[in-house]
Amino acid sequence: MTFAREELLAAALARLIREVPTRHVAVGAASPIPAAAVWLAKIGHDPGLRLSLLHRPRGNPFTEGTRELFDLTGQGRVELFFLGGGEIDGRANLNLIGTGDWPGSAVRFPGSFGSAFMYMMAGRTILFREEHSPRVLVEHVAHISAPGVSAAGVFRRGHAQALVTGRCVFRFHPERARFSLLSVHPGESVETIRAATGFAFDAADEVPQTPPPTEAELALLRGPVADEMRDTYPEFCARVWAGARAA
């Protein structure tokens, strides 16, 4: 059974989504793999799962865009969000500003926008970044756009659940502010992950391989999931699912 790396990552994310009963997930506009994961979880396991896909050409429930998303999240009605970062460190801090002295002018990242609010107020967050290298997964981020943990007495509704990269899946433990290695993708090992990671993490004596997508999951991804995503992510769908049936 052959599959694309994007399909492996979508299946891994979908399993994380299903770990906790979830009613409402929000996904940003530039996140095709998380979007595929949510559609996979929805179509394959939970038809009642609500997906708010920002900037979707059709079916977007928001009339005023991000402001409504923030309102829902502040009310506790968005249970899962996805975030990435130009830098991510071992305490699950995110840097979306840049590197170098403030304001991070050495290398500029896209900007924080609402990342801090969503990280604090969503019920849980799955961190996702395809690139897994010491320049992305660093010991300490240069600037904190969104904190992985907060001081005692600071209200926050949720924390990171996991970090999924192109090489592995990490579990985050907010009580210890530390990651542990949950699984490694095909071709990787604990040693290769440590060599490619700038922060320290915990690992068991034996770390399993990330399970591949099942035949049923691949059929869903290449069929109804691709159909749902084609309007919003046409280039992604054409690249990954060139043989998927036409919309």
Residue ranges and CATH numbers for the domains of the chain are 5-240 (3.40.1080.10)
* pLDDT over 70 at 50, yes or no: yes
Q: How does residue 165 score in pLDDT terms, banded at 50, 70 and 90?
A: very high
Which tops the pLDDT comparison, 64 or 94? 94
pLDDT at 74 (0 to 100): 93
Grade residue 143 by pLDDT with cuts at 50, 70 and 90.
very high
- Residue 116 half-sphere exposure toward CB, CA atoms < 13 A: 13
* pLDDT band at 106; cut points 50, 70, 90: confident
Mean pLDDT estimate for the chain: 91
CA distance 111 to 93: 14
Instruction: Answer whether residue 89 shows pLDDT above 70.
Output: yes
Secondary structure (3-state) at 215: helix
- Give percent above pLDDT 90 in the chain: 77
How many angstroms separate the Cα of 141 from the Cα of each of 96, 137, 163, 199, 219? 10, 9, 16, 10, 39
Higher pLDDT, 170 or 72: 170
Give the pLDDT confidence score for residue 247 in this predicted structure.
41
Check residues 29 and 122 and name the one with the higher pLDDT. Answer: 122
**pLDDT above 70 (res 59):** no
Report the amino acid identity of residue 83: L
* Calpha distance 233→226 (Å, rounded): 9
Cis before 103 (ω within 30) = yes
How is residue 41 written in tokens? Answer: 């979880």
| Range in 42-46, 55-59, 96-100 the model is least confident about | 55-59
Task: Report residue 70's pLDDT band, with 50, 70 and 90 as the boundaries.
Answer: confident
State phi, psi for 75 to the nearest 5 degrees: -85, 0
β-bridge pairing 87-89 and 94-95: antiparallel
Q: What is the mean pLDDT of residues 17-39?
A: 92
For residue 214, pLDDT over 50 is answered with yes
pLDDT exceeds 90 at position 58: no
What DSSP designation does 213 have?
P
Q: Decide if pLDDT at 138 tops 50.
A: yes
Q: Give the pLDDT confidence score for residue 139 in this predicted structure.
A: 98
